């Protein structure tokens, strides 16, 4: 019985590899806050990934018992009561971006069940830090014909 | 050391597949597929530095949307007449808000359809000029002129501190979609195309966007029972 010719197998796998390298993006940080994003149909795609800072607002994963919302900016975690410290962190983040600071965008990944009070506190911190371009992240709803 | 015709053995490539498999798995683990979709919003400057001379908007040019703590939506379009009550909507009735917003925006856009409920604003009108990144001035196509800004109206969106984010997001999105629909309709009418997203250039789309500028303004959420 002749052996199966596997000489083209590496090429095949390499093409799959390249496909994945192109369509995916590096995961920036570990998310420690559980977030269920809202769904939408009128969404735009966020370009220029380098100047984006992610802020997650949701239920902290390491403390499941407490229902208190948590905020995560990069690897920093804040509780609801510490929201006033956020401004300093955003300013720091802005400095880190250097020349790209003017193009800084903040992607807010907020859980559906978060109340507007907390969001408005976060927005006030962003305004004070002059990070004015924000972006409410959401998942695309596919069933609508948009 | 003669010129012996020795056969050069080929490199054993049987493990290349394994190596690339490992690379593949590595990329699968460290990368993520989810691309960033969402709504883009521009925040105003900090409150203490905001200019005090905020342009005063007449009540009839205001569309007030208020989401309460029970996630119900109250809409007041223009000035209420004697005995008229604001419109109350549930989250699943947002389609109505979209139609209302579209009607309101069109009526408040100079040159748009006249609607007796929302009298046309009588402020100074400035024509739209658009110079693109390359420094070229882009004009509306032939036959369309005197397009003026629609910055005469304001849509205010206010929530309660205990309103759910999901509802707020949906309301925001519906208001955005009202603007998007109008831009689409405008593009179809002016350029005579079926699918503006695909058929028009970025500059032409920007012109359509500028015809209907997003005028949503957000007020600070209020506490339960306290009204501004």
C-alpha B140/C-alpha A137 separation (Å) is 33
Nearest CA in chain A to B36: A46
Per residue in B133-144, pLDDT (tens digit) is 776 777 776 656
Predicted local confidence at residue A36, as pLDDT: 86
* Residues B107 and B114: beta-carbon distance below 8 Å: yes
Domains of chain B, residue spans: 55-218
More reliable by pLDDT, B129 or B113: B129
Mean pLDDT across the stretch B54-73?
80
Of B38, B169, B221, which is closest to A107 when you measure between CB atoms?
B38
pLDDT tens, position by position, B107-126: 777 655 555 555 555 555 56
Q: Which residue, B85, B114, B98, B84, is CA-closest to B176?
A: B98
Task: Tell which of A3, A13, A58 to mutate to test the B interface (max B CBs under 10 Å).
Answer: A13
| Contact by Cβ (8 Å): B166, B92 | no
Interface size A-B, in CB pairs within 8 Å, comes to 153
| Angle, in degrees to the nearest 10, between helices B16-30 and A9-23 | 20
Q: Is the pLDDT of residue B157 over 50?
A: yes
Confidence of residue B70 (pLDDT cuts 50, 70, 90): confident
B24 in Cβ contact with B82 (< 8 Å): no
| Token output for B85 | 């009550």
Query: What long-range pairs does B196-203 form, CB within 8 A, spacing at least 24?
Result: B203/B130, B203/B132, B203/B136, B203/B138
Residue A146's pLDDT is what? Answer: 40
CB contact under 8 A, B24 and A40: no
Answer for the pair B165, A112: CB distance below 8 angstroms, yes or no: yes
CA distance B150 to A12: 56
């Amino acid at each position: 019985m002749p052996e199966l010719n596997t000489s083209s197998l590496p090429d095949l796998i390499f093409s799959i590899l390249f496909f994945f390298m192109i369509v995916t993006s590096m995961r920036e940080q570990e998310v420690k806050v559980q977030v269920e994003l809202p769904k939408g149909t009128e969404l735009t795609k966020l370009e220029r990934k380098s100047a984006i800072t992610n802020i997650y607002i949701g239920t902290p994963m390491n403390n499941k018992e407490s229902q208190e919302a948590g905020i995560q900016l990069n690897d920093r975690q804040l509780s609801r009561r510490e929201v006033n410290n956020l401004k300093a962190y955003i300013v720091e983040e802005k400095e880190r971006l250097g020349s790209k600071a003017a193009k800084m965008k903040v992607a807010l990944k907020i859980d559906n069940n978060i109340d507007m009070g907390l969001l408005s506190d976060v927005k006030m911190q962003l305004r004070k830090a002059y990070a004015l371009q924000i972006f409410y992240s959401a998942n695309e709803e596919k069933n609508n014909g948009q | 050391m003669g010129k012996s015709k020795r056969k050069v053995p080929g490199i054993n490539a049987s493990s290349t597949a394994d190596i690339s498999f490992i690379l593949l798995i590595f990329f699968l683990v460290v990368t993520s597929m989810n691309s960033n979709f969402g709504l883009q919003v521009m925040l105003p400057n900090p409150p203490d530095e905001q200019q005090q001379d905020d342009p005063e908007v007449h009540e009839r040019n205001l569309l007030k949307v208020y989401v309460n703590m029970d996630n119900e939506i109250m809409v007041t379009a223009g000035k209420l007449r004697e005995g008229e009550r604001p419109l109350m909507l549930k989250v699943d009735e947002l389609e109505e808000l979209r139609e209302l917003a579209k009607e309101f925006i069109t009526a408040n856009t100079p040159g748009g359809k006249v609607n007796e409920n929302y009298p046309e604003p009588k402020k100074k009108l400035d024509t739209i000029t658009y110079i693109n990144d390359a420094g070229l001035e882009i004009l509306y196509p032939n036959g369309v002129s005197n397009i003026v800004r629609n910055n005469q109206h304001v849509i205010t969106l206010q929530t309660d501190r205990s309103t759910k984010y999901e509802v707020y997001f949906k309301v925001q999105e519906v208001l955005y979609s009202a603007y998007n629909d109008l831009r689409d309709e405008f593009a179809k009418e002016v350029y005579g195309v079926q699918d503006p997203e695909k058929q028009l250039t970025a500059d032409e789309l920007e012109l359509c966007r500028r015809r209907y500028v997003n005028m949503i303004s957000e007020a600070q959420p209020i506490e339960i029972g306290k009204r501004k």
